[in-house]
């Protein structure tokens, strides 16, 4: 028994040492390179995000004094030179997933000490973890990435499952559940009627009509010319779709 207990005691430092090796690998270093754990797209990631959208990056700029003071008070710290490494990027939203709508301008703060900025004119999937005044903070490690990488990683399919589909209102997957074509309908989810409709289960139609009025009544509805074929709701693999 004594020998077994001694072996168990000896193993503990080995485990601790292994953990330290992993942590040191992912911890910030002096070189301008950063190792990040693979991003996780799950309910927690969506719930904890202050804003999620697809958008095009505009020019970057330094923080002004007021912004630097606000971020400092909020405990936002940047490595290697402090707030000088925090840059503001203005994005034009092309598709909102949470807390954003198409056409909106959103300011994203990014720590560029590691070289993790945004290329002007390029499109990204952006997760803003925190909102501080009119700024959103997107950390270097996380779910923010180019659209191509996001598509390859299956993030948009995951967002459809976790958030829903639609424009200004989102239809949850459970509200598209069906057994036959007769279970399905469609609804407008764009406040300016600039879409061809979004599928929804007939049983949930009234709920989303009310949500649409609630979301779009205070919004200035844009004039839109769009030509759509008459949508035909179908039940495919247990979900309502439009064909």
* Number of Cβ within a 10 Å radius of residue 26: 12
The CATH class for the domain spanning 43-155 reads mainly beta
pLDDT of residue 222: 63
User: Has residue 207 got a pLDDT over 80?
Assistant: yes
pLDDT single digits (tens) 143-166: 999 999 999 999 998 998 888 888
Enumerate helices (H) and strands (E) in the chain, giving the number of each.
6, 11
Supply 39's token pair: 């991003």
Distance CA 52, CA 56 (A): 13
Q: Tokens 């399919």 — which residue?
A: 157
HSE value, Cβ hemisphere, 13 Å, CA-based, for 172: 7
pLDDT of residue 11: 37
Alpha-carbon distance values, 214 to 77, 173, 207, 209 (Å): 39, 21, 11, 9
* Cβ atoms of residues 177 and 190 within 8 Å: no
pLDDT single digits (tens) 176-199: 999 999 999 999 888 877 788 899
pLDDT of residue 29: 32
Beta strand residue intervals within the chain, DSSP E:
51-62, 86-98, 105-111, 123-128, 130-132, 135-137, 145-146, 184-187, 198-201, 233-236, 239-242
Domain with CATH 2.40.50.120 in the chain: 43-155
Q: How confident is the model at residue 232 (pLDDT cuts 50, 70, 90)?
A: very high
């Amino acid at each position: 028994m004594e020998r077994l207990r001694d072996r168990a005691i000896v193993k503990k430092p080995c485990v601790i040492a292994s953990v330290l090796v992993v942590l040191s690998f992912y911890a910030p270093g002096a070189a301008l390179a950063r190792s990040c754990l693979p991003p996780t797209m799950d309910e927690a990631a969506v719930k904890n995000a202050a804003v999620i959208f697809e958008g095009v990056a505009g020019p970057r700029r330094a923080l002004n004094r007021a912004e630097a003071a606000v971020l400092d008070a909020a405990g936002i710290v940047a490595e290697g030179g402090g707030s000088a490494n925090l840059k503001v990027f203005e994005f034009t939203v092309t598709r909102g997933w949470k807390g954003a709508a198409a056409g909106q301008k959103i300011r994203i703060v990014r720590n560029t000490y590691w070289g993790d900025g945004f290329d002007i004119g390029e499109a990204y999937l952006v997760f803003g973890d925190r909102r501080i005044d009119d700024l959103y903070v997107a950390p270097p490690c996380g779910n923010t990435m180019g659209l191509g990488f996001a598509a390859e990683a299956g993030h948009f399919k995951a967002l459809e499952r976790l958030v829903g589909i639609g424009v200004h209102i989102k239809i949850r997957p459970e509200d598209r559940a069906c057994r036959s074509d007769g279970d399905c309908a469609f609804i407008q989810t764009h406040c300016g009627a600039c879409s061809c409709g979004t599928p929804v289960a007939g049983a949930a139609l009234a709920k989303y009509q009310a949500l649409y009025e609630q979301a779009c009544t205070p919004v200035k509805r844009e004039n839109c010319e769009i030509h759509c074929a008459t949508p035909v709701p179908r039940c495919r693999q247990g979900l309502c779709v439009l064909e």
